[in-house]
Amino acid sequence: MHTMFQIISEQFSNFKIIQRMSKFDDKATYQSHYLGLAWEFLNPLIQIGIYYLVFGVALCRGDPMPGVPYLPWMVLGITPWLYMNKTVLDASKSVYQQVGLVSKMKFPVSVLPSIKIVGNLASFWTMLAFSIFLMFCNHMMPTFSWIQFLYYFVCMIALMYALGIFNSTVTVLIRDWQITLQSILRMLFYMSGVLFNFATSNFPAILIRILELNPFYYIINGMRESMLNRGWVWQEPNLTITIVFWMFVFIVMAVGTFLHNKFRANFVDLI
């Protein structure tokens, strides 16, 4: 427990370094591209266009919620998914790829996943603005429930760091974990309610309850329902799912920080 709080405190004490390193990392990634950082926003827009043509047009998906067109509903869900998918993969490689940098500079290894988490937020905010624009185009105005978005944003960052510190450590110890993680995320894409609404699908009730325990679904559905004014976090069944979500984050964080603290002195040797 002490180790977990120590590593969390390292993120706050080194936040300025995390911000500077995330900006540098973004520029370095796209410095040889003609469009540069524009690809951070073009890639998600291209994917949204493809998914809409396939699921919204070709498969003739109807309105997933009463009075809510498919396109803004889908974009509200795919925005956090694209961010979480990219961040989980980037954070899992952060220690393996950049541990040598830490040996030359004075900041803890534990901030490397946070650099990826902060660095990917620019595209997330852009996609969120696009989602809100689509809502306005479809005559969906802001409501008081939008305040819940801040809570789910905190949930998302907490989940990303818990998975980041865990996956980045395991990737160093087990090289195959990165490939395994990619396969897991491909599966979770269809199990997180990004493209279709479980509640209005022909899924058995027990299966829906199991799928709702998915932490990615909790965040995606929570952000979506907050923006669409479809419920509150303290109402059932959201309250039960909330408890399960935070238990998952706590366990992954505890295990991840324990492994990180145990092996970080040997990261350079292991790599």
Q: What does the mean pLDDT of the chain come to?
A: 82
Give the model's pLDDT for residue 214: 92
pLDDT digits (tens, 9 = 90+) for 195-254: 877 777 777 788 888 888 899 999 998 998 888 876 666 665 667 888 899 999 999 999
20-45 mean pLDDT: 67
Q: Is the pLDDT of residue 137 over 70?
A: yes
Give the model's pLDDT for residue 79: 92
**What is the spatial distance between Cα 171 and Cα 157, in angstroms, rounded to a whole number?**
20
Q: What percent of the chain has pLDDT over 70?
A: 80
Q: Is the pLDDT of residue 62 over 80?
A: no
**What is the spatial distance between Cα 10 and Cα 108, in angstroms, rounded to a whole number?**
7
Give the model's pLDDT for residue 253: 95
pTM tops 0.95: no
Q: Which residues of 165-192 are buried (b: 16+ CB within 10 A; e: fewer)?
A: bbbbbbbbeeeebbeebeeebeebeeeb
